[in-house]
Each structure stands twice: as structure tokens, then as C-alpha cells.
Chains A and B, each alone.
Chain A
Amino acid sequence: MSKSVLQLPVIETAEAARQTVRLTLHAPEWAHTAHAGHFINLLVPGRRDLLWRRPFSVHRADRSRGTIDLLVGKAGRGSESIAASRPGEQLDAIGLLGNNFPLDAGLREIIMVAGGIGIAPFDLLLQDAKGLSCRKSLFYGARSACDLCNSALWAEKGAALHITTQDGSAGSRGLVLDELRRYLESDRDYTGRVIYGCGPTPMLAALREMAMGLGIKGYVSVENRMACGFGACVGCAVELAAVRPDGQKYLLACKDGPVFPIEEILIHD
């Protein structure tokens, strides 16, 4: 997959959840080639003091319209400026970057585990898995009901939905991993069942521990700061669980990831 720098017209913006904007961008080429996990790296408009681009997972790809959607959480000055983009403006983007969640042969169940803005790649994963007849379950946790994105849509896309909020304002009260553990322990046959995780680092660290403890296969998409996004700065190092025979200790989130087999890397909380 060849990488390029494109100017993407903003088609639409919408409030997806509290402090979260969904941007629809015109990007026909990427709409066709994007899979869940791929990301693009956006220049922050109007902020030359903010040097780096900001990476965003492709949230949706509408192949017939030629658009991609991103979920932009207003986490800092950079994402705030990007979230403030208006239709008609253009965003300077490098893409498509990274790898994607693999859909293994013989899948019986896709178990998606999302924390907060970590929901982003799973719309596209459901699209990638559309032709698969396996069971699709989505465990989606957020602080509060108003932090959930598109909660009505998930069931339509064929996912059995398990919502948790920390304040109990939607779904069950508690943490998404508690709900997941109850579910996984209720049926301990893990053949063909695969976890796909994306969310805050502490959640991914706990998810890794749980998955390895139960002996269920999984992949996680990690977040990391990157100066480039295409393997040049070597800044987004992720530690391998085991040093390789040639002495290699790290992989790069941008190039080797952002998706990794859950047991392959260490996730430091």
C-alpha cells in the first residue's frame, strides 16, 4: 500500500459524543483501501507552534460516497483545532498508515473491546467482517452515557452490544473489562474466538493480562505519540514481550502496528 500526502476536503462534521466530533472527509482512494486499524496523520490547521501531525484511526469508510470518517476526541490543543474544522475546509493528511486487525480463518466470534474513543476502528471492523457469519460482540465502556458514540447503530451493524458506563447512566455500571470477564468466564471454549481491543493504555494492559490468563487469542491497537507516522522518527517504540534472537527489543507502533497480537508486546500502564 503506497503512502501519500493528500488535501482532504471536509464534507461534514457532527457531534458524536461529549467532546468528540465525527469528521467526514472526501478521500475516495482511501475509502476503498482502508481497513480497521489503518490511520491517517493530520496536520493541525492554523497551529504552526504544534509541530507534529495527529494520528486518527479510520472510523468508517463509505466506498460508494468516497468518504472516510474519523472520531476526533478533543484531548488537547491539536485535536481541538482539528475538531473545529468546518465543511469546505481542507485537512492535510498522510495515509494510509499502519496495519489492520486480521480476521483469522475459522473465526467463531469477534469480541470487540472498546474504551472511550477506542471505539473508533470497530465500525470499520464490522464492515470488514460483514461477509463473515461468525458472532460479533461489542463490549463498549465509557465514563457516562453522553460519552458513547453512535450507541444506537451498533446493533444494526450486527453486533451484540454490551455497554458499561462508570456512572451507570447507560448499560451496566462498572468497567468494560468486568463485563467482559463475566462473559468470557460463562463460556470457556475459546476456540475460534478472538478479542480485538482498542482504548486507553491501562485498559489494554488489563485486557492483555485477562486474555493471556484465560488463554484466549487477541489483538490490540495501541496509541502512541509519533513525530512522523511512517517509520522515520523511530519514536513510537513498543516493547516486545520477548527479545528476538537478533537482539531486537522494540517494534514501531506506526509501521509494525498499530495492531499487535496481544501476547507479542508489553503494555506499560
Chain B
Amino acid sequence: MTDLRVRIGSLVLANPVLTASGTFGYGSEFADFFDLNRLGGIVTKTVTLEPRPGNAPQRIWETPAGMLNSIGLPNVGVEQFKVEKWPFLSTLKTAVIVNVAGRSSQEYAAAVEALESVEGIAAYELNYSCPNVKEGGLAFSSDARVAAEVTSRVRAVTRRPLIAKLTPNVTSISEIGRACADAGADALSAINTLVGMAVDIRTRRPRLSTITGGLSGPAIRPVALARVYELVRNVSIPVIGIGGIATAEDALEFLIAGAAAVQIGTAGFVHPDAAVRVVEDLEAFCRREGIAGMAQLCGSLRL
């Protein structure tokens, strides 16, 4: 039997497969389809200090082997999250990582502070990289100084593991990643969506109400892998790979390139049980290949 456990800072996950923020709701949306406790963990949809209604339609558009989205972080706000969403999440045995965003470093810290009283949160993932928020969600991870400031502000209010989720829409993702690590992040997750756009040639209008949105799905997987590999070589904290991962084979590419864990996102829209299938197929692969533990895989890339 393969030991699939991985360590992300002080956090130990039963296996390296998590669900990506913004694609898995607050877990209950998927409870009909499979036993959520078979996952390494769940990353919740973003929670902000105040409720947000989200962006106007049209919010999504299908593209070749991918999709554009501009959802705009709709959520009930941190206080309602505790009342409406946490009771279900608290029943799970799998690690629940709460994704948090804000319009300022104070807002990030205030949201995390409000969550500190909630028992059972395994970690926080700081969303530095939503491209679809007017107030400049992207700004937090496109400027190393700002990313460091937010990270250290949040670091000051919690001892729980902090994961900084990075955007690929920058010149040097490693510079931002290093800044977050130096400011106290325990791990990085990458990548968030790539900025993209589509146009209706008949009406000559953009397909999305916000003109541009974030591209996700299999189309971005090679880009994501290259970014993750770059981060792994340049930072000393664990990196969680995200971007178009749909199968165990996809996940293995990221693990071999050095990711400590992976997140499954868009694939779960199409195959709700995609993440748990990755767990099962990863386990079968390890058994076949005689791999006893994840350390034998992670970062085993041969050059």
C-alpha cells in the first residue's frame, strides 16, 4: 500500500489531491457525487470580509479545451460563511483550507482574524490573483512588495498555515513567490487563471461582461507546469500545482516537476468526481510502479 501522505508546512494531507478554490463551492455541491473525505483536502470558494454579489452576466465562455470566467468572487461574506457554509465543512474529515481575498491588506487580515475563532480550519489560501475584481485583486500578486505586505499582515494574526495563490500574469512569478515566502507564507499555490478574452464577431461585443476574464482548463496545463517548475527551482517552500489538471497522469507531471500537491479545478465542472478519480488512479500508478511514498515522486524530474 502506497503512503500518499504529503506535508505542506505543518499541514499533513492524506494525499496530494486538493480541489481548487472557486471550482468546488463549499463542498456540499459535490457531496452527492462522491465521498469528500477521500480527498487530500478542499479549498473553499473565496471568502471576503463583506458579502459580494459577483459580476454581471455573461460570466463564462467556452474556449478550445478550456473556458474563460469572470465570476467576480461572489460570496456571503465571512460572518455568513461561518453560519451558512462552515457547519457542513466542519463535518468533513478531510483538510479544509479556506481561501480568502480582500481589497486591501487590512481586509485580508480582518477576514482571516474573523476566521480564527472557527475551529477546524486546516489552513488559509490567500487569493492574490483573481483577475476579475475591479478593485485590483491582481495587484496583490503582481507587485512583490504588495504581496509581501499582505502576507506579513496576515501572518501577524494567525499561526495557521498560509498558502499564497499566485497569478501567472506577471513577468517573474519567482520574485513574487520569494517575497511571499520571506514574509511568512508556508507554501505557494500556482497558477491562477491566465488573462484571456473572446469576442462575438456578429455583435462585435466581448463575450464576457468584464471584457477579459481568466482562462482555465486543459488548455493552460503546460503553461502552469512550466510556472510551477520555475517556482520549485527558485523558492524553498512547498508549491501546490494548479492549472488544467484533470487526470492522475496530469497530476503526476506536476508532482514529478516538484509540486508537493496539486489542485483539481475546471475538470470537476465536467466530471464532478474528477478529483477523487485522480486520487484512485494515482494510488494505482504508485502500486504498479512500486512507489512507496510521495517523496519518491515529488521533484524526481530527470534532466
Contact = CB atoms under 8 A, between A and B. Distances in A.
Are A and B subunits of one complex?
Answer: yes
Contacts of A43: 270
A225 B58 contact: yes
Interface string B60-71: 111111110101
Q: For B55, B74, B268, B270, which residue has the most chain A Cβ atoms within 10 angstroms? A: B270
Given A5-B33, A49-B65, A232 B57 contact: no
B88 interface: no
A107 to B, nearest CB: 32
A216 B302 CA distance: 71
B299 interface: no
B203 to A, nearest CB: 12
A195 B54 CA distance: 31
A51 B270 contact: yes
Interface in A248-266: 248-250
B66 A51 contact: yes
A4 B33 contact: yes
A8 B58 CA distance: 31
Interface in B223-282: 266, 268-273
B60 A250 contact: no
Interface string A229-251: 01111111111000100111110
B102 to A, nearest CB: 17
B84 to A, nearest CB: 11
B32 A225 contact: no
B56 interface: yes
A175 to B, nearest CB: 22
A231 B56 CA distance: 17
B33 A227 contact: no
Nearest to A41: B270
Interface in A1-34: 2-5
Q: Classify chain A: how many residues form its interface, as a range.
A: 20 to 34
B119 interface: no
Interface in A24-72: 43, 48-53
Interface string A205-232: 0000000000000000000111110111
Given A225-B62, A227-B60, A232 B30 contact: yes
A233 B32 CA distance: 16
B142 to A, nearest CB: 24
Contacts of A50: 62
B23 A233 contact: yes
B218 interface: yes
A113 to B, nearest CB: 23
B293 interface: no
A235 B69 contact: yes
A101 to B, nearest CB: 23
Contact of A232 (B53, B63, B269): B269
Contacts of B272: 5, 94, 228, 230, 232
B273 A227 contact: no
A52 B62 contact: yes
Contacts of A48: 65
A237 B53 CA distance: 10
B25 interface: yes
A250 to B, nearest CB: 6
B67 A51 contact: yes
A53 B272 CA distance: 11
Contacts of B63: 51
Contacts of B24: 232
Nearest to A240: B53
Q: For B54, B76, B269, which residue has the most chain A Cβ atoms within 10 angstroms? A: B269
A2 B51 CA distance: 29
Interface in B85-141: none
Contacts of B269: 52, 227-228, 232-233
B217 interface: yes
Given A2-B32, A51-B62, A227 B67 contact: yes
Contacts of A247: 51, 53
A116 to B, nearest CB: 18
Nearest to B70: A235
Contacts of A53: 270
A225 B61 contact: yes
Q: For B51, B266, B272, which residue has the most chain A Cβ atoms within 10 angstroms? A: B272
Interface of B: 22-25, 29-30, 32-33, 45, 51, 53-67, 69, 71, 74, 76, 80, 217-218, 266, 268-273
5 contacts: A3-B32, A225-B61, A230-B29, A249-B54, A250-B54
Given A51-B63, A228-B272, A250-B74, 5 more contacts: A3-B32, A225-B60, A246-B76, A249-B53, A268-B57
Interface of A: 2-5, 43, 48-53, 94, 224-228, 230-239, 243, 246-250, 268
